[in-house]
Amino acid sequence: MPIYRLWRAADDEFFEQDAHDDGHALELFGEQLGLKLSLEEADEVAPFLMQRMHNEVAWTSKPSMPVYIDKAAT
C-alpha cells in the first residue's frame, strides 16, 4: 500500500497516511483536517500538495500533486 504525504502551504506542515489510491488518501486527509479535498483544479492556488510514495527513498523529493479544497462540499 502506498504512503501518501500531504503538505499544507499555510504553515509548512506535513501529514502522512497509508492509502490504497489517490481518492482514498484525499478522503483520509480530509477526515483528519475536517475538509473535503479534491484533485479537481479550482480558481485558487492549491493550498496543499500531495505526494505518493512506494518506498522511503521517495521522501527526498517534494510533493507536487496540487490538492484543492472542494468548495461545493462545504
Q: How confident is the model at residue 30 (pLDDT cuts 50, 70, 90)?
A: very high
User: What does the pLDDT average to over 33-54?
Assistant: 92
Residue 48 in this model has a pLDDT that exceeds 60: yes
Higher pLDDT, 39 or 42: 39
Residue 63 in this model has a pLDDT that exceeds 90: no
Residue keyed to cell 478522503: 27
pLDDT, the chain, mean? 88
Whole-number pLDDT of residue 59: 55
Report the distance separating Cα 38 and Cα 66, nearest Å. 9
Structural domain for 22, as ranges: 3-73
Whole-number pLDDT of residue 4: 93
Q: How many domains does the chain have?
A: 1
